[in-house]
Amino acid sequence: MRADQVSSDSLPSVGSLRSAVILSCAGTRLTPREAILFARLKPAGVFLFKRNCRTPEQLARLVREIRQVAGPGPAGPGPTGDDILIGIDQEGGRVARMRPPAWRSLPAPGWLRDVPRRHRERAARAHARRTVAMLRPAGINANATPLLDLAIPGADAIIGDRALGDTVRDVVDLARIIHEEHLAGGVLPIIKHLPGHGRVMGDPHDRAIRITADHRTLVREDFAPFRAFADAPAGLVGHPIYPVIDPHKPASLSSAVIERWIRQEIGFTGLLISDDLAMGALRGPMARRVQASLAAGCDLALYCRGRLVVMENIGQAAPVLTGAALDRFNRAMALLR
């Protein structure tokens, strides 16, 4: 039995409230158990990955299945049906879930650094518009871009050619164009990685990483692009440890980093999403990671591996999206209606 054959009567639900999590799925169609979980839990969002993207027709069908079983949120669907965040990482280059031959290949954002300055705005707009043109027909309404991390000489290649520039001005100017074009095309841009990830000397996908720069340097350089986007509707907080403020917890689990740096010093007012909590930078049971990220100040906890048993455990631990977090979610989603 396929997900679209599951009777609505068999889908237990917590009502119209959404849970404060973003989940994922294992393949190119929802399984019946995934459908039941999504209907009961009503996640605030679902992120898609290469494993979910085979053809344009298949991907659009999968998104319709997710919307069908997850159901409308507290305010009901808007005119475009955007009541749940359907997200993806489609930067271009090596971070692209929709790939040839089914979709067009676009270069990594760092390619824009090599474009003559007088042509950069046009190139950035074209890149963003082509990206949006792939996403919206599939029903995808959020993209984890633009990346605001600086290109730091000698840092780990995890950022590398993904960075828009090595100066605050270049990053902000190009990111503004990408941000504008996504919103204009009906796709929510999610800035990343708050409060600044460019200085990492390792890959947080694999292990815990410390950024040891002093506070003054971080404020002057790393934080600056994010301050320019303090009113952005949504942002992703990374997993590095910043010993200067919290020597023990990664940013995504640290109330000191989130409240004092991201919310107060940077002034970010938008929906705050954790980076993937399944990364090797974190330890402990997944349900505990979800609870810790939300307790630290993230509005939504992101889990990307798509393992059903893990998501079922998350469902037991995830609270309903309420209060200021719900307000920020609604404000972000209203931009798509």
The confidence score (pLDDT) of residue 82 equals 62
The confidence score (pLDDT) of residue 66 equals 97
- pLDDT tens across 162-209, in order? 999 999 999 999 999 999 999 999 999 999 999 998 898 777 776 778
Active site residues: 205, 275
The confidence score (pLDDT) of residue 11 equals 34
The torsion defined by the Cα of 215, 216, 220 and 224, in degrees rounded to 10, comes to 20
Strand partners, 273: 236, 300
The confidence score (pLDDT) of residue 204 equals 73
Strand partners, 85: 45
Q: 75 with 325: CB under 8 angstroms?
A: no
Question: What's the predicted TM-score (pTM) here?
Answer: 0.92
The confidence score (pLDDT) of residue 208 equals 74
The confidence score (pLDDT) of residue 320 equals 94
Phi then psi dihedrals of residue 302, to 5 deg: -105, 125
The confidence score (pLDDT) of residue 157 equals 86
The confidence score (pLDDT) of residue 250 equals 96
The torsion defined by the Cα of 92, 96, 102 and 105, in degrees rounded to 10, comes to 20
Give, in order, the Cα–Cα distances in Å from 268 to each of 221, 259, 300, 329.
16, 10, 15, 14
Give, in order, the Cα–Cα distances in Å from 100 to each of 54, 109, 227, 251, 314.
10, 18, 36, 35, 34
d(Cα 253, Cα 257) in Å, to the nearest integer? 8
d(Cα 98, Cα 24) in Å, to the nearest integer? 15
- Residue ranges of the chain whose pLDDT lies below 70: 1-16, 71-82, 206
